[in-house]
Amino acid sequence: MAKERKDLIKIGELANMAGIQVVTIRYYEKEGLLAKPQRSPNGYRTYRRADVERLRFVRHCREHGMAIEDIKTLLKLREAPDRDCMEVNTLVDDHIKKLEEQLASLQALKSRLVELRGKCPHSGAISNCGIISGLDGYHCRAWEDKEGQNQTN
Amino acid sequence: MAKERKDLIKIGELANMAGIQVVTIRYYEKEGLLAKPQRSPNGYRTYRRADVERLRFVRHCREHGMAIEDIKTLLKLREAPDRDCMEVNTLVDDHIKKLEEQLASLQALKSRLVELRGKCPHSGAISNCGIISGLDGYHCRAWEDKEGQNQTN
DNA sequence: TATAATGTCTATAGTTACTATAGAGTCAAG
DNA sequence: CTTGACTCTATAGTAACTATAGACATTATA
């Protein structure tokens, strides 16, 4: 039984090649992102070239902030080269939309916080700090309403 | 024992007034963000006006994306009105910096993804899809290196 | 007054994508 | 032959909640 090539690698080598931690690979396996690999007689996982590529694909997707479930879908699509790629486009478009929403809300957040920060450029007592009062519950309308109701009852 | 006013509210009312869910209030209590409230004879939590304000403060902070630990700090500072507000400023500055980093990386992500998306404007077979190949592990240098090493060993 | 709907309680598990820890077996080198 | 690096499994922790189950309490309706 001559091995024609060194076709099998262990998890550590795979991790190095794909730029992913060993524990993360095991985690991906558990999550069904990677098929259960063969085991050598000692119980160690053994991987092949295709696994490196698959894992790199996963890593690139994660680096683009995609969710594991989305990556699962993409992997399935990747393995069906004859199908129409519209589904891929849709998934990516959705993801871009999500990113845009995140960006918008973060941007709004930041503006508001910078504005708030501008209310306390000095160094004084907290009681005068515009940031703390800016974060306060402005005025307690609901409570007033509540008491108003009580008086009518 | 005449109640001079309705000063005590139950958790549901507090939730309404502060715009926070009941379960979240209990969660905040467990996390030490809110003090353990008094209980009425039936075991229900009872709150007072100051709790509404405190909880609104918390909500505003969360809406600004602050971590619960940071909010704890701010709450402590808020209750020490005589201290210098420099610590508040620093905390907010740090948070703004975090937001800026997040924004930058999300922006980069989006650009890359939009570019990728541009590689498949059509509707064709997945095998020709520029998105999938763009997400692929380009070229498997590490594996080649590995095999090179093998040959030298 | 009976009952049904709502509100409250506790405790526990699930979410996302990992990371950390413990305890044990395997393997290569010195 | 022992040290160190690598592998294995299983479990718990992270952040900030959300969901679920099962049990009382209160309130509204019939």
Q: Give, as ranges, the nucleotides of chain D with any atom within 7 Å of a protein CB.
A: 6-9, 15-20, 25-26
> Is B52 domain-assigned?
yes
Does residue B52 share a domain with residue B1?
Answer: yes
Does residue B61 share a domain with residue B90?
Answer: no
Q: B135 vs A57: CB contact, 8 Å cut-off?
A: yes
Q: Nearest Cα to A19, choosing from B9, B142, B78, B121?
A: B142
Judge residue A146's burial from the number of C-beta atoms within 10 Å of its C-beta, 0-12 exposed, 13-18 middle, 19 or more buried. Answer: middle
Mean pLDDT by 10 residues, chain B (153 residues): 62 94 96 94 94 91 89 85 79 88 87 82 71 61 36 27
> Is B77 domain-assigned?
no
**Could you tell me the residue range of the domain that residue A51 belongs to?**
1-66
pLDDT tier at A137 (50, 70, 90 boundaries)?
Answer: low
CA of B23 to C1' of C5 (A): 20
> What is the model's pLDDT at position B46?
96
Of the residues A132, A139, A141, the best mutation for testing chain B's interface (the one with the most B CB atoms within 10 Å of its CB) is A132
B9, β-bridge pairs: B47
Does residue B90 share a domain with residue B61?
Answer: no
Q: Which residues are CB-contacts of A55 (< 8 A; sequence separation ≥ 6)?
A: A14, A17, A18, A20, A25, A28, A34, B137
Cross-chain CB nearest to A135 (options B61, B81, B135):
B61
Task: Indicate the number of domains in chain A.
Answer: 1
- CA distance linking residue B13 with residue A142, whole number of Å: 10
Of the residues A61, A72, A82, A109, the best mutation for testing chain B's interface (the one with the most B CB atoms within 10 Å of its CB) is A109
| B117 touches A at CB < 8 Å | yes
- CA distance linking residue B58 with residue B67, whole number of Å: 10
Does residue B11 share a domain with residue B47?
Answer: yes
- CA distance linking residue A83 with residue B117, whole number of Å: 18
> Is A21 domain-assigned?
yes
Which residue type, as a one-letter code, is found at position B14? Answer: L
CA of A15 to C1' of C26 (A): 19
pTM given for the model: 0.76
pLDDT tier at A121 (50, 70, 90 boundaries)?
Answer: low
> Is B125 domain-assigned?
no
> Is B71 domain-assigned?
no
Residue A3 has pLDDT above 70, yes or no: no
Residue A89 has pLDDT above 50, yes or no: yes
> Is B46 domain-assigned?
yes
Which residue type, as a one-letter code, is found at position A96? Answer: I
CATH of the domain at B14: 1.10.1660.10
Q: Give, as ranges, the nucleotides of chain C with any atom within 7 Å of a protein CB.
A: 7-10, 16-21, 26-27
Between chain A and chain B, how many beta carbons pairs sit less than 8 Å apart?
200
CA of B58 to C1' of D28 (A): 34
Judge residue A66's burial from the number of C-beta atoms within 10 Å of its C-beta, 0-12 exposed, 13-18 middle, 19 or more buried. Answer: buried
> Is A15 domain-assigned?
yes
> Is A106 domain-assigned?
no
Q: What is the mean pLDDT of residues A62-81?
A: 86
Between these two residues, B21 and A139, which has the higher pLDDT value? B21
* Integer CA distances (angstroms), B108 to A103, B95, B133, B136, in order: 11, 20, 19, 19
> What is the model's pLDDT at position B121?
65
